[in-house]
Amino acid sequence: PCQHGMLVVPVLANLGPLEDLTLSPNPDEVAEVFTLPLEHLLQEENQGYTHFRTAGRYGYTLPVFLHGPHRVWGLTAIVTELTLELLAPGRY
């Protein structure tokens, strides 16, 4: 079920060499495009979790990926975590 009338559909694809791509992200939504190697994401020291509180009590926990050019958090981290579970079972 969708909350707030929004639906997110992640797509995983091999686009070939990154150097050959010309990306035009919407500047109102994306400040910068960057990549992280799979090996970086699979290293435990680059993985973490953020615990959120609501009304002064524990609310929920979300993944976060650290030590890259930027912290990967929020929905991007959730989709990244689900992707790692599919691509590297037993390693993630």
**25-83 residue pLDDT tens:** 999 988 888 889 999 999 999 999 999 999 999 999 999 999 999 999 999 999 999 99
Residue 9 belongs to a domain: no
The secondary structure of 19-43 as a DSSP string is GG------TTT-S------HHHHHS
Residue 8 belongs to a domain: no
Q: CB of 23 within 8 A of CB of 33?
A: yes
Host domain of residue 67: 19-88
Domains identified in the chain, total number: 1
Say what the pTM is.
0.81
